[in-house]
Amino acid sequence: MKVLVVGSGGREHALCFAFQKSGKVTQIYCANGNAGIGKIAELVAIKPHEILKLADFAEQNRIDLTFVGGETSLALGIVDEFERRGLRIFGVSRRAAGLEASKSFAKDFMARHKIPTAAYKTAYSTVEAIEILEAGEFGGENAPVVVKADGLAAGKGVVVAKDRAEAIAAINELANVVGKEATEKIVLEECLFGREVSLILFADGKNFALMPPTRDHKRIGEGDTGANTGGMGTITDENFLSGEQTAAIIEEIIKPTLKGAEGEGFPIRGIIFLGLMMTATGAKVLEYNMRFGDPETQSILVRLETDLVEICDAVISQTLDKTGIKWKKGNSACIVLASKGYPAKAQTGDVISGIGEAEKLESVTIFHAGTGNDANGDFVTSGGRVLGITATADSLEESLKRAYEAVGKISFEGMQYRRDIGK
């Protein structure tokens, strides 16, 4: 069968890698991919927001299954368009994607279905947002508060402000950082405290299957300092959540989310990515993403033993309850290598050396994110996050050790990475 993966980052390379392992897949296409993906898939020059062109491509090339990597295409309704044309696709509908694409929609949904999350209020202008804070909501002048732009903002739309003055400054800056439309709806939230866990699951509308819990390191600098990024590294670890915690998340969050969405007419068939805060009073939802994470996917899919095509089939045909999903025991880690200047302004065109040597190490897989080829055919940097060096092992320590050993083999001008992933 022929599979099309939509996207161009490390997440999509990991998806192509998983499809390549499937005995059912004969040809992989990736729109629009990167140099590493180009080694295992045929690259197609269509961007994720060009959903009509993607549907045309799938029709003309008789693609049997399309898998959508990122939120842009989902929020634009790629799944609705494909399904309208009778094309098989894995991903959530436009309405379900709204749980990620609009924070106020997600918060109101959680309120309607009594899903634990931070207390919030939606403001419809910067003036109103500031008035709400000055009226003393979310604590006084010295209380921390979280400011969120309503729409998709590639990680730039959230500011955890330590006091009211910082929150007001963040509100006034939103238009500059995310764009003017970001000030038309602003969500203000109670600041939660605790440990963050990302829990990603497959859902077929009614049934679900959990993936190993992961943790992401979002800041560029060690010790969680410096600017926010798309993610500098992840680990998977079943010990992040106790059996009791998992059971509570299922009952209080996952089941009401699936039931609520179905009841409101947008059953969730695809992926739910729960950003959770483990507070003193239990797990609370920080955010919903309706797709795989990047770089969470890299560390998750290297542990997937079941054929990804079988899982996609089960989700699309709503038989996930009859499909056992097997994960490699132990742990995994993914260390992101980023280019010079990332995340402010990434320098590109630097030659990358050592990939071949690093790939020879046991249990190491290298996923490309921002890579291209120069005139000599060598890999060069072409984006902010360049590579995801991923390793599996029986323990977290060993998987980190293997991943960092592989990192040690790779170099390019100005290469940045965090030495404290998983710590």
CA dist 98 and 74 (Å) reads 9
Determine if 282 is a binding residue for ligand AMP (CB under 6 A): no
Determine if 336 is a binding residue for ligand AMP (CB under 6 A): no
Indicate the helix (H) or strand (E) that contains 385.
strand 385-393
Residue 192's nearest CA partner among 276, 134, 115, 250 is 276
- Which residue shows structure tokens 């044309």? 85
The one-character DSSP state at 253 is: I
| DSSP string over 81-141 | HHHHTT--EES--HHHHHHHH-HHHHHHHHHHTT--B--EEEESSHHHHHHHHHTTTTSST
CA dist 261 and 333 (Å) reads 33
- Per CB under 6 A, the list member of 40, 191, 250, 325 interacting with ligand AMP is 191
CA dist 110 and 152 (Å) reads 18
Determine if 186 is a binding residue for ligand AMP (CB under 6 A): no
Considering only residues 220 to 239 of the shown chain, the ones binding ligand GLY according to CB under 6 A are: 230-231
Q: How far is the CB of 349 from ligand GLY (least distance, A)?
A: 26
The span of 64-72, 185-193, 319-327, 334-342 binding ligand AMP (CB under 6 A) equals 185-193
Q: Choose among ligand AMP, ligand GLY, none what residue 160 binds, the Cβ cut-off being 5 to 8 Å by kind.
A: ligand AMP
CA dist 102 and 288 (Å) reads 10
81 vs 296, beta carbon nearer ligand AMP: 296
43 vs 143, beta carbon nearer ligand AMP: 143
Determine if 216 is a binding residue for ligand GLY (CB under 6 A): yes
- Tell me, rounded to whole angstroms, the distance of Cα 242 from its chain centroid: 23
106 vs 366, beta carbon nearer ligand AMP: 106
Determine if 158 is a binding residue for ligand AMP (CB under 6 A): yes
Paired tokens of 74: 């989902």
- Per CB under 6 A, the list member of 54, 89, 130, 286 interacting with ligand AMP is 286
> Site for ligand AMP (CB under 6 A): how many residues?
12
Determine if 237 is a binding residue for ligand AMP (CB under 6 A): no
Q: What separation in angstroms does the CA of 397 have from each of 147, 224, 365, 400, 421?
A: 36, 20, 17, 5, 11
CA dist 409 and 53 (Å) reads 40
157 vs 380, beta carbon nearer ligand GLY: 157
Considering only residues 283 to 312 of the shown chain, the ones binding ligand GLY according to CB under 6 A are: 289, 293-294, 296
Q: How far is the CB of 35 from ligand AMP (least distance, A)?
A: 29
5 vs 286, beta carbon nearer ligand AMP: 286
| DSSP string over 184-216 | SSEEEEEPP-SEEEEEEEEEESS-EEEPPPEEE
158 vs 380, beta carbon nearer ligand GLY: 158
Q: Would you state the torsion angle of the CA atoms of residues 150, 295, 396, 337, taken in this order, to the nearest 10 degrees?
A: -120
The residues, ordered by sequence, that sit 6+ positions from 273 with a Cβ below 8 Å of its Cβ are 198, 199, 200, 288, 289, 290, 291, 292, 293, 296
CA dist 60 and 404 (Å) reads 43
Q: Using CB under 6 A as the criterion, what x/- string covers residues 246-285 for binding ligand GLY? A: ----------------------------------------
Q: Using CB under 6 A as the criterion, what x/- string covers residues 116-155 for binding ligand AMP? A: --x---------------------------x-x-------
Q: Choose among ligand AMP, ligand GLY, none what residue 286 binds, the Cβ cut-off being 5 to 8 Å by kind.
A: ligand AMP
Determine if 287 is a binding residue for ligand AMP (CB under 6 A): yes
Determine if 160 is a binding residue for ligand AMP (CB under 6 A): yes
Q: How far is the CB of 285 from ligand GLY (least distance, A)?
A: 14
Residue 376's nearest CA partner among 408, 352, 347, 348 is 352
Treating both helix axes as pointing N-terminal to C-terminal, what angle do 10-21 and 308-316 enclose, rounded to 10 degrees?
100
Q: Which stretches of the chain bind ligand AMP, using CB under 6 A?
A: 118, 146, 148, 158, 160, 189, 191-192, 196, 275, 286-287
* Interaction site with ligand GLY (CB under 6 A): 216, 230-231, 289, 293-294, 296
